[in-house]
Amino acid sequence: MSRLLLLILFPLMGHAAGEGAWQASGPGATLSHRGISASSRALAPSQPVSGVMTMVAWRYELIGPTPAGLNVRLCSLTRCVEIEGQSGTTRGLTNVAANEPLRFVWEVPGGGALFPALKVRSNQVIVNYR
């Protein structure tokens, strides 16, 4: 599926000198209690990059239903941006260093057990930078 996302987003990737993109994907997380955050592992470029982020495309896949009130953020080391839906793009991380790893953070407000638990099968980012 990551190749399909790359094909869909290919026109969005920079081609001019000094521009580039990196992609990373990984397993998701499980969230079993309301009011507690769960974070994905860090998604980082596989090779050294320099510059700043311009746009980030994301995608994550859930196993089972989306819990009511689910809040999802995409976070660098220095900034977080709220994202909506299981795929999309954001410019909310513009000017963050292109080599900073990104994490997805999921949270359902409230307290007590979350049934069924939120299970994230996978997550992916494509980071455009200049």
SS3 assignment, position 33: strand
Total number of domains in the chain: 1
Instruction: Write the CATH number for 72.
Output: 2.60.120.260
Of the candidates 87, 29, 27, 22, the one whose C-alpha atom is nearest the C-alpha of residue 52 is: 22
- CA–CA dist 49, 45 (Å, integer): 7
The predicted pLDDT at position 18 comes to 66
In which residue are the tokens 């049934």 written? 115
Residue 121 has pLDDT above 80, yes or no: yes
Expressed as residue numbers, the domain containing 69 is 2-129
pLDDT digits (tens, 9 = 90+) for 53-68: 999 999 999 999 999 9
pLDDT digit string, tens, across residues 12-56:
444 444 699 999 999 999 999 999 999 999 999 999 999 999 999
Is 0.75 surpassed by the pTM of this model?
yes
